[in-house]
């Protein structure tokens, strides 16, 4: 039996999941068991769409379909909290299982604070996250840096500081530092992120810390809540998942990897924020001057929805139909999310004018934390 605070290595006993999944398929096995045992009514998962650069959310009610969602898509840049709010009524009338990255979990927490989702009805399995890569950037990077046709790549992964692709019978990896120094690699918001292990989820899962005979064949799981412990214990009792105690050295290695990722996030913050430090608001005004007022940044932001109608209408400071809009259009949006931006990058990822909106809002959020509550800000960003 496991309890909140415990750590284990875990793997699936299902042959199909073992074949399709990664790291022993524990996450997929747990989601399948939750659905079969009626602990949840449905699972919100992400599966491959047209190709490996196209990730799409799917709501699954048939356990047999979950095997098709096994595996990671690092070029999928979805925020799964959004469809829960927009299309599933915030999980207020059904129980949902969902795998989450750090930004997904932060979005769910912010939405719960606003009464827009019911976390009591959501079982969250967190995934350690080193970052994601924009699909457009990924295709360009693979063609130009790897010298491989992006359409020939059948699988990609981020492991041990490298972006690795598999094509034909070959695989090739290039150090992420090298890629990012040349303008490729992870999305900028992912580089600045310091919430790598989402311990506010019910379970936190990943490969960091799995060493020895189970390396690559099991998932490292931290039990972060009583709900997570209940799910794992019932899955083990049903024989769908097996576990064993982690190797102590693996726990130590896990901590070192996480600390290295946090330091890397801090490095990118200093690098990205440096250009803004002399004239933050002037840089924002200039950067947003090419805005075409498509409202994508508002509609895809998980924490800005209460201001959406106001910004779309007329006001004393914002004239309807004016393009580019008055600088106050963006200033008011940034002010609105200044204490709640989760650095998910959706505003920037989906901006048709490539305005670095995530950079601006993240800089404002970080500055607000450290300016008004230095110790609180430091504590928050040591976990995000």
Q: How far apart are CA 191 and CA 176, in angstroms?
A: 11
Confidence category of residue 308, pLDDT binned at 50, 70, 90:
low
Q: How far apart are CA 381 and CA 194, in angstroms?
A: 6
CATH class given for the domain over 135-185? alpha beta
Average pLDDT over residues 86-106: 95
Q: How far is CA 70 from the centre of its chain?
A: 16
Token match 């009591």: residue? 120
pTM attached to this predicted model: 0.88
Average pLDDT over residues 266-286: 86
**What integer best gives the mean pLDDT of the chain?**
88
Sequence length of the chain is 384
The DSSP code for 218 is: S
Q: Where are the domains of the chain?
A: 7-132+190-262, 135-185, 277-381
Of 277 and 35, the one with more pLDDT: 35
Quick one: pLDDT at residue 374? Answer: 43
Average pLDDT over residues 214-219: 94
pLDDT at 375 over 60: no
The tokens describing 256, both together, are 């070192």
Q: What Å distances lie between residue 184 and 136, 143, 178, 187, 262, CA to CA?
A: 10, 11, 9, 8, 20
Quick one: pLDDT at residue 364? Answer: 86
Other beta carbons within 10 Å of 5: 10
Q: Across the strands, what pairs with 9?
A: 220, 244
């Amino acid at each position: 039996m496991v309890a909140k605070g415990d750590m284990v290595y875990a793997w699936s006993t299902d042959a199909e999941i073992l074949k399709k999944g990664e790291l022993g398929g524990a996450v997929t096995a747990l989601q399948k068991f939750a659905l079969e045992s009626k602990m949840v009514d449905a699972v919100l998962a992400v599966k491959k769409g047209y190709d490996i650069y196209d990730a799409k959310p799917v709501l699954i009610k048939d356990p047999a379909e979950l095997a098709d969602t096994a595996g990671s898509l690092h070029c999928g840049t979805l925020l799964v909290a959004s469809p829960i709010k927009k299309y599933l009524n915030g999980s207020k009338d059904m129980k949902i299982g969902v795998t989450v990255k750090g930004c997904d979990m932060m979005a769910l927490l912010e939405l719960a604070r606003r009464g827009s989702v019911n976390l009591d009805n959501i079982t969250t399995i967190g995934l350690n996250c080193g970052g994601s890569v924009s699909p457009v950037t990924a295709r360009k990077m693979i063609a130009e840096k790897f010298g491989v046709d992006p359409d020939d790549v059948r699988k990609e992964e981020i492991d041990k500081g490298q972006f690795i692709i598999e094509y034909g019978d070959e695989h090739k990896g290039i150090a992420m530092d090298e890629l990012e120094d040349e303008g490729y690699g992870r999305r900028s918001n992912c580089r600045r992120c310091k919430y790598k292990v989402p311990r506010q989820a019910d379970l936190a899962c990943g490969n960091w810390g799995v060493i020895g005979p189970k390396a690559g064949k099991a998932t490292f799981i931290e039990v972060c809540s009583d709900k997570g412990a209940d799910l794992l214990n019932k899955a083990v009792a049903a024989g769908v998942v097996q576990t064993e105690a982690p190797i102590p050295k693996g726990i130590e290695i896990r901590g070192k990897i996480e600390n290295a990722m946090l330091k890397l996030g801090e490095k990118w913050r200093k690098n990205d924020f440096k250009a803004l430090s002399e004239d933050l608001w002037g840089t924002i005004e200039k950067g947003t001057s090419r805005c075409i007022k498509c409202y994508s940044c508002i509609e895809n932001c998980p924490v800005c929805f209460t201001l959406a109608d106001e910004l779309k209408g007329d006001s004393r400071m914002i004239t309807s139909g004016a393009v580019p809009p008055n600088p106050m259009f963006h200033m008011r949006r940034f002010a609105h999310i200044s204490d709640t931006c989760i650095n998910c990058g959706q505003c920037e990822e989906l901006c048709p004018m490539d305005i670095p909106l995530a950079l601006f809002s993240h800089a404002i959020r970080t500055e607000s934390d450290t300016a008004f509550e230095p110790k609180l800000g430091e504590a928050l960003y040591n976990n995000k």
